């Protein structure tokens, strides 16, 4: 079974992001970039499927500018077999990424596509679902457990207030939630091996997709600063404030 995994280049989750002075975007100057954590979980799951003898090949794909190849190399170091970079400039919205991934799916014909449920930069949570719609493949989103059984894929989904188990016909799409697995660290020997693995580069035109934009980023603002706390005189004052100011008790 061939597994395709999408990886996105985002600001490292440890970095405290800042808006540019003019509010036009997030400031990415000298900021450490990394694989989106949910995509890292997707890579880990695909590699585990391969180690379990379920998957035969794991392909990591990323869409974006040339530096995305760093994240593909990281996925290769984590255990993916080969990489595909769809080179596209500028801000690319989820629908376009989904269309480009559909082009890759048509070329590679994977039985399973695993994506992160969302990226920590855009927080859109759209690409996996859009890819499902475009390819007409069944989708199991917010997966916390997956199991391949013959031609079926059982997915345990994290839904509001509990878990839901669904069974999908393969080929299928899965988007990963936080608890699906705990990704490994790339070992030094695997980092060295990753350099020798195949990495193909496509343009959107190669996949028959025109990169268009329907969304304009208007403004980026940091969250409001938290106000300093106060010291209350007694319990009665605390209860009064919780009731009348914070309105958290009645």
Partner 1 sequence: MDFTFSEDQLLFQDSVRDFLVNEITPERLRAGWETDTGRDPALWQQFAELGLTGITVPEEHGGLGMDAVDFVLLAQECGYVALAEPLVNHALVAVPLLQDIGGELAARWLPLAATGEARIIAAVEQNLMVEDAHVADLLLLEREGQWFALEQGQFSCERSESIDPARRLYSVTVQAGTAPIVEGARANALRAACLNRGALGCAAQALGLAQRMIDLSVQYTAERKQFGKAIGSFQAVKHHMANVAVRLEYAKAPVHRAAYAVAEDASGAALAVAQAKLMACEAANLAAKNSIQVHGAMGYTWEVDLHIFMKKAWALANTWGDAGWHKQQVAAVIFADGAALGAGATFQ
Instruction: Name the site residues for partner 1 (rule: CB under 8 A).
Output: 14, 73, 77, 185-189, 191-192, 195
Minimum CB distance to partner 1, residue 92 (Å): 25
Residue with tokens 């974006």: 64
Distance of CA 204 to the CA centre of its chain: 20
Per the listing, tokens 């059982």 go with 154
Quickly count: other Cβ atoms within 10 Å of residue 188's Cβ: 9
Please state the closest distance from residue 57 (CB atom) to partner 1, in A: 24
Judged by beta carbon, residue 28 or residue 133, the one nearer partner 1 is: 28
Residue number with CB closer to partner 1 (34 or 155): 34
Closest to partner 1 by CB, 148 vs 194, is: 194
DSSP tally for the chain: helices H, then strands E: 6, 11
Pair of tokens at residue 209: 């997709």
Q: Least CB distance from residue 181 to partner 1, whole Å?
A: 16
DSSP type of residue 160? T
Smallest gap from Cβ 41 to partner 1, in A, equals: 15
3-class DSSP state for residue 225? coil
57 in Cβ contact with 110 (< 8 Å): no
Smaller CB separation from partner 1, 73 or 157: 73
């Amino acid at each position: 079974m061939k597994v395709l995994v999408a990886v996105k280049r985002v600001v490292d989750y440890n970095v405290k992001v800042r808006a540019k002075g003019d509010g036009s975007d997030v400031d990415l100057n000298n900021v450490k970039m990394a694989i989106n954590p949910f995509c890292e979980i997707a890579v880990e799951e695909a590699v585990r499927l391969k180690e379990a003898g379920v998957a035969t090949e794991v392909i990591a794909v990323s869409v974006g500018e040339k530096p995305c190849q760093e994240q593909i190399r990281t996925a290769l170091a984590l255990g993916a077999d080969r990489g595909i970079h769809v080179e596209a400039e500028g801000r690319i919205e989820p629908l376009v990424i989904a269309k480009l991934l559909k082009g890759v799916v048509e070329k590679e014909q994977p039985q399973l596509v695993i994506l992160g449920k969302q990226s920590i930069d855009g927080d859109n949570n759209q690409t996996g679902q859009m890819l499902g719609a475009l390819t007409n493949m069944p989708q199991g989103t917010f997966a916390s457990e997956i199991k391949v059984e013959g031609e079926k894929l059982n997915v345990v989904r994290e839904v509001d207030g509990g878990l839901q188990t669904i069974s999908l016909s393969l080929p299928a799409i899965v988007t990963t939630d936080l608890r699906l697995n705990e990704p490994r660290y790339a070992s030094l020997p695997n980092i060295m091996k990753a350099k020798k693995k195949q990495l193909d580069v496509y343009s959107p035109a190669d996949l028959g997709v025109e990169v268009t934009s329907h969304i304009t980023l208007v403004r980026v603002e940091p969250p409001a600063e938290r106000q300093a706390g106060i010291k209350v005189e007694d319990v009665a004052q605390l209860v009064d404030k919780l009731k009348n100011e914070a309105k958290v008790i009645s």
